[in-house]
Amino acid sequence: MFLHTEKKVAHHGQRSRPQLEALEQRWCPAVTSTFSSGTLTVTGDARSNNIQIVANGDQITVTSGRQTQSFSGVDSLTADLRGGRDRLNIDLSSTSSQTLNVTVMGGSGNDSVIANLNQLSASSTVNLDVNLGAGHDRFRLQDNGMSTDANLSLNLDAGTGNDFVTLDLGVFNQGSQASLMLNLGAGADRLRTTLGDVMADANLQMTVSGGGGNDRTNLDGGNTAANGTAALTFDLGTGRDYLTARFGSVGTNATFTVTGDGGSGRDIARINASAAIDAFLQLSGFERTFRNFQG
């Protein structure tokens, strides 16, 4: 069988008319959002995308340029930014979801990713898996504390490039659990971390891997209350690395450990805390250590 197609041959001398319909069909949005079985997938393109993802109640709204789309019933969110200098702002401060899995892939280019969680509600779970890819990337995570029995996990891979990571986390209330795994990768990276107090039966685990390059890490830690647990590990790798850390008090029956390894290269540690903290510190691989006694 043959399908005959009619060929339209333009007459000689006839001017072609503007093809508006054809232009509309060819236009495709830079950022696409698809939703299936609770999973919202936001995909950028090779250019620099600017994307806002904002939760409000059980709705999540994705905005990029003049495009806005809302979805409800999202329990899993993936943002694939691809190439280009992308900007992604995820605001989950007004979500009503109890469980949310978020995956971000920055791709190449100097990307900027910000996630704002406000206060994690009681017994809620937020899992963040962030891979910033190549390029000089910025990542910022902010919360105003974790309510009772809330769970937070962050698995960050900053990739190559000189990356700048900021964590600004509030109080870890009773029974809450936080697991922060930060892999800064190659490049001269900077990490600034502010942590609230760790309350009774709360469990905070933070592991920082500096990778190659001259890394600067800064930790402003709170108090670890009686029966609280905080285990902080800094493995700064090769390069001239800095660890500057301040620690609060450690309560009765608390489990508190700080392990710092400067790795190869001339590394410097600066510790600001009371004399009592020294019993909990395990530092190695630092060529110079400055000790300021506080409290």
Binding footprint of Ca ion on the chain (CB under 5 A): 44, 49, 81-82, 84, 86, 106-107, 109, 111
In the complex, the smallest distance separating the C-beta of residue 201 from Ca ion, rounded to whole angstroms, is 40
In the complex, the smallest distance separating the C-beta of residue 148 from Ca ion, rounded to whole angstroms, is 37
For Ca ion, the closer CB: 85 or 246: 85
For Ca ion, the closer CB: 159 or 212: 159
Q: Give, for 193, the enclosing helix (H) or strand (E).
A: strand 190-195
Q: Give, for 261, the enclosing helix (H) or strand (E).
A: strand 255-261
Are 133 and 152 a contacting pair, CB within 8 Å? no
* 119 vs 142: CA distance, rounded Å: 9
For Ca ion, the closer CB: 109 or 161: 109
Sheet-wide strand order for 99-105: 32-36, 39-43, 76-80, 99-105, 125-131, 151-157, 177-183, 203-209, 229-235, 255-261, 281-284
In the complex, the smallest distance separating the C-beta of residue 274 from Ca ion, rounded to whole angstroms, is 44
Query: Which residues, listed in sequence order, are joined to residue 268 by a DSSP beta bridge?
Result: 242, 288
In the complex, the smallest distance separating the C-beta of residue 187 from Ca ion, rounded to whole angstroms, is 16
**CA 27 and chain centroid, separation:** 32
In the complex, the smallest distance separating the C-beta of residue 88 from Ca ion, rounded to whole angstroms, is 9
* 194 vs 168: CA distance, rounded Å: 5
Are 162 and 188 a contacting pair, CB within 8 Å? yes
**String of DSSP letters for 26-72:** H---SSEEEEETTEEEEE--SS--EEEEEEEETEEEEEETTEEEEEE
For Ca ion, the closer CB: 55 or 105: 105
- Stated length of the chain: 295
| 235, burial (CB in 10 Å: exposed 0-12, middle 13-18, buried 19+) | middle
In the complex, the smallest distance separating the C-beta of residue 135 from Ca ion, rounded to whole angstroms, is 7
**CA 30 and chain centroid, separation:** 23
In the complex, the smallest distance separating the C-beta of residue 49 from Ca ion, rounded to whole angstroms, is 4
For Ca ion, the closer CB: 109 or 260: 109
Query: Which residues, listed in sequence order, are joined to residue 292 by a DSSP beta bridge?
Result: 272
In the complex, the smallest distance separating the C-beta of residue 257 from Ca ion, rounded to whole angstroms, is 36
Strand 99-105 and strand 76-80: pairing?
parallel
- Using DSSP, state whether 55 is helix, strand or coil: strand
